[in-house]
Amino acid sequence: MPAPALHLLVRALVTVMLPPLLLGVITKTKAKIAGRVGAPFLQPYYDIFRLLRKGSVFSTTTTWIFRASPIVSLITALLASLMIPLGNQPPAISFTGDLVLFAYLFGLARFFTVSAALDTGSAFEGMGGAREATFSCLSEPALFLGLLVLVKQSESLSLGGMLGARLAGVWQGAGASTVLVLASFFIVLLAENCRIPFDDPNTHLELTMIHEVMVLDHSGPAFGLILYGAALKLFVLGAVVVRLALPFSMDNAWQDWGLFVFGMLLLSVVIGVVESVMARLRLRQVPSLLVAACLLSGFGIILLAR
Amino acid sequence: MPKTALGFLVGAVAICGLPPLNGFVSEFFLYIGLFRSTLLRASGVWVAGVLGAPALAIIGALAVACFVKVFGAVFLGAPRSGHVRDAREAGASMTAPMLMLGACCIFIGLVPPAIAPALDHAVAAWAPEATNGEIGLASLAPLGWLSALAITLMALLAGGFALFAARVRPSRAAMAVTWDCGYAAPSSRMQYTASSFAESLVGIFSWALHPRVHPAKPVNIFPRAEHFKSEVPDPVLDRAVLPASHQAGRFLVWFRWVQHGDVQLYIFYVLAALVLTMLLRR
């Protein structure tokens, strides 16, 4: 088997298999810090398979929009995963301006997730949808400002070029702005995936939640797909952060894969530690943190403008 | 009203600039231009991109919030009034134009190269010096990739939904009322309304929007039934354009004697204006 095809196969396997493990590592980290044994690493896989086998309950007010939203979230995350480099491995698809499609695919998923929340007619899900729509107005510019810094650094208009082999050189040349973008993207990662300090995925108090409250009414296979889609989104945005933080290339491709998987697991541990040492922010303060993320990337651009 | 809802949904997704519809193709051109301008060495030009791209991102997210709000408040959830509950689909003469426009949105989104030549003509007519008659949109933006990925996305969504719908049929699934945290009888009045959906977003931008709230605070130990109302006046129309035109109207009253309804005199105005321009021309 030729090497590029083999690595595409590895890429597909890693993309499909790894995401739930990240959730497992986060949960395990939080449990260890709290002094508990915690659920097994593979618990998210068990959960997803259990949900996929279960029956469904639908609300009588829902329409096809409600049933379409898990599919939209999953498919858009899968397509987005094709456009990012995994570690030192180039993306499966790369073209000028793919970063715009990358960002807007998540916008499409958001449109349908919030619509599905409104489809149920529940007060709580409407609340979650309103919060999601509000905070995305601040996390989107943060994402685009960060991408602008990377575009300007690499002089490339594709994610494969921006996060490609030249990234290590960029770190030496413009390390300060790269650090700022890395911090900004980490905040965006936490916000987009509804982790603490923006949202608490473990809470069972509907009033305080954002993402989980929007999917309260999904059950069975639909909820399984939502869980998997959320894990995939964490994987995709996490891969960007990991590539920014670990821009090295090893001696051969297999070591690159190892470094990437190690980086993703390390990122999960870091998220777990953040969730253990912080409380959720008050909702009124969430916009401030997102604006801070915008400002970090904004300063990154100013540093490049010299 | 499934057909109207479908037509509105396609239009809403398109106007939010989301893939795989025509709005995304347009936003893609804008973003590519803005990102390219940040790479120019000329000082000053790249600032446009640095300010423009995040502004476009905010506008995109606001558009999603706005159109999800409209779509959700109008078409989704439990009916809020008897009129809505008894609403029926309009006739084919009213739904067909909508669905045709929706089909155009989908077609341009899926096959953007088909409209690139028409856009090239328009650009050449608008700014001939910028194109030199050679550079086409197709060479500036990867329309083939856009087309391929839009078709892939559409096919995957349709296929995924068909598979999922076959596996999870509402006819076989249990039906129940919406889960409202154990509350047994959720009613349509408990739903989020359009203004409650927008409340937190309006709160962030209250420095520009100045929302008005009319709270009626309950008084006494046994208060009467009270109402709460909030509104967001349009800052451009309600706060600038309408007051300005109102003031201008008061000022222009002085010239009303010119307008008296006498046709002969109007023709005299035309003659006077013509003579005046001819004199000035010389």
For an interface test with B, give the residue of A100, A150, A198 to mutate (most B CBs within 10 A). Answer: A100
Going by C-beta distance under 8 Å and a sequence separation of 6 or more, which residues neighbour residue B97? none
A120 and B53 within 8 Å at the Cβ level: the answer is no
User: According to the model, what pLDDT value does residue B42 have?
Assistant: 67
Q: Which residue of A has its CA nearest to B51?
A: A145
Answer for the pair B57, A103: CB distance below 8 angstroms, yes or no.
yes
Residue A306, pLDDT > 70, answer: no
For an interface test with A, give the residue of B31, B147, B190 to mutate (most A CBs within 10 A). Answer: B31
Name which of A79, A122, A221 is nearest B179 (Cβ-Cβ): A122
CA–CA dist B257, B72 (Å, integer): 52
Residue B55, pLDDT > 90, answer: yes
Q: How far is A176 from chain B (nearest CA, A)?
A: 18
Quick one: average pLDDT of A6-12? 91
Residue B127 CA: distances (Å) to CA of B117, B140, B269: 15, 16, 38
Please give the sequence-ordered ranges of beta strands (E in DSSP) within chain B, or none if there are none: 174-176, 212-214, 229-231
State whether residue A37 is helix, strand or coil.
Answer: coil
Q: How far is B79 from chain A (nearest CA, A)?
A: 9
Q: How far is A22 from chain B (nearest CA, A)?
A: 25
B157 and A72 within 8 Å at the Cβ level: the answer is yes
The residues pairing with B138 across neighbouring beta strands, listed in sequence order, are none
CA–CA dist B53, A170 (Å, integer): 22
Q: How far is A268 from chain B (nearest CA, A)?
A: 28
Pairing label, strands B174-176, A57-59: parallel
Quick one: average pLDDT of B189-210? 85
In chain B, what residues touch A294 (CB-CB under 8 Å)? Answer: 54
- Buried b or exposed e, range A35-50, using 16+ CB within 10 angstroms: eeebeeeebbbebbee
Structure tokens at B42: 């000329």
User: According to the model, what pLDDT value does residue B4 have?
Assistant: 92
Mean pLDDT highest for which of A203-207, A248-252, B128-132?
Answer: A248-252
Kindly report, residue by residue over A215-236, the tens digit of the pLDDT.
888 999 999 999 999 999 999 9
Q: Please give the ipTM for the structure prediction.
A: 0.91
For an interface test with A, give the residue of B204, B205, B207 to mutate (most A CBs within 10 A). Answer: B204
Sign of the dihedral through C-alpha B108, B112, B118, B124 = positive
B178 and A148 within 8 Å at the Cβ level: the answer is no
A104 and B175 within 8 Å at the Cβ level: the answer is no
Quick one: average pLDDT of B32-38? 88
The crossing angle, in degrees rounded to 10, of helices A286-304 and A123-154 is: 10
Q: How far is B266 from chain A (nearest CA, A)?
A: 54
User: According to the model, what pLDDT value does residue A228 have?
Assistant: 96
User: According to the model, what pLDDT value does residue B133 have?
Assistant: 56
